[in-house]
A = this chain, B = another copy of it.
Amino acid sequence: VTRCAYVNGRYVPHADAAVHIEDRGYQFADGVYEVIALRRGRLLDEEAHMARLDRSLAELEIAPAMSHAALGLVMRELVRRNRLGDGNLYLQMTRGVAPRDHGFPAGVETSLVLTARRAKPQPQALVEQGVAVVTMPDIRWGRCDIKSIALLPNVLGKQAARAAGAYEAWLVDRDGHVTEGTSSNAWIVTAAGRLVTRKTGNDILAGVTRRSLIALLGEQGLALEERPFTVAEAKAAREALLTSTTSAVLAVTRIDGAKVGGGRPGKLFGALRRIYLDYADGAGASG
């Protein structure tokens, strides 16, 4: 099978997939994206991703490239052509191609690009031992609720984490509270056993995995506090977690080198990961 991508109306070999150099995604980061997990060929949380995509587009006044129904067909066709089981779909819409000028151009068509790839299996060590995070100031812009491709600060944060031997960076606002990771949401479990994660707002992305996990918590009757927490509170927490489409749920067992929860993934993590993966393999995915 030749890996293929979808670019502005055509299925093309991934290696040849190209966009014009004056696509505003390339010159202005003027676009948005979604990453959707595939579980045995089915799209996980498709509706939530489509709803978030619509919201991002609306905030930037970018016209959707096509309807949800049409996009659903394209996504499924791309999965089929790439013969994917477990993997990820990447979907990007930008404001289109126009002579370079900051303001919105008139009469352009929204660009649409999709890629698909097989998931590398998540290393068992990450699940069993948990991951390390490092903290750093959140220097991103004021609209992190928009899932835009202006990801340079996230790139720099992730790279700094890796250079420090960590899996992720947790970004910290001016008040000392964790906002989120560079590509994941951040959670802790208090001494009283309550899950805490920051409330959505302009300062974080409304993660789809975060959202699904919150819904599952409700079904299980587990308590959640949506509020900011400090780095000190996280270091002293019983457990810490992160969630994202590509990581699902992982335990955070080190923060800036300090062990969290004795340095081992905790019980609530184990339960939440199980609940989440059951959901992902069942009701959460749409064929």
Chain A residues in the interface with B (C-beta under 8 A) = 5, 7, 17-30, 33, 60-61, 90, 92, 99-100, 102-104, 113, 115, 117, 137, 139-143, 148-159, 161-162, 182-183
Task: Name A102's contact: one of B20, B27, B100, B159 (CB within 8 Å).
Answer: B159
Alpha-carbon separation in the docked complex, A137 to B92 (Å)? 28
Which of B21, B23, B28, B156 interacts with A115 by CB under 8 Å?
A: B21
Shortest distance from the beta carbon of A243 to any chain B beta carbon, whole Å: 16
Q: With A and B bound together, what is the CA distance between A156 and B62 in angstroms? A: 12
Query: What's the number of copies of this chain in the assembled complex?
Result: 2
Q: A26-B25, A27-B33, A149-B28 are in contact. Are A154 and B102 (CB under 8 A)?
A: yes
CB distance from A140 to the nearest CB of B (A): 5
Interface residues of A, dominant DSSP: mixed
A141-B153 contact, Cβ under 8 Å, with A26-B26, A90-B100: yes
Among A92, A100, A155, residue most surrounded by chain B Cβ atoms (within 10 Å): A155
Q: Inside 8 A of A104's CB, which chain B residues have their CB?
A: 155, 159
> Nearest Cβ distance between residue A74 and chain B, in whole angstroms?
15
**A27-B92 in contact (CB<8A):** yes
Instruction: Tell me, in angstroms, the Cα distance from A141 to B141 when the chains sit together.
Output: 4
Which residues in B have their C-beta under 8 angstroms from that of A92? 21, 26-27
Knowing A139-B142, A183-B102 touch, does A23 contact B26 (C-beta < 8 A)? yes
Nearest Cβ on chain B to A49's Cβ, whole angstroms: 16
- Known contacts A5-B21, A115-B100, A182-B102; decide if A29 and B151 are in contact (CB<8 Å): yes
- Contact between chains at B139 and A141 (CB < 8 Å): yes
Question: Contact check: which of B28, B103, B142 meets A162 at CB < 8 Å?
Answer: B103
Q: Please, how many angstroms separate the alpha-carbon atoms of A149 and B148 in the complex? A: 13
Q: How far does the alpha carbon of A279 sit from the alpha carbon of B73 in the complex, in Å?
A: 58
Tell me the minimal C-beta distance from A154 to chain B in angstroms. Answer: 6
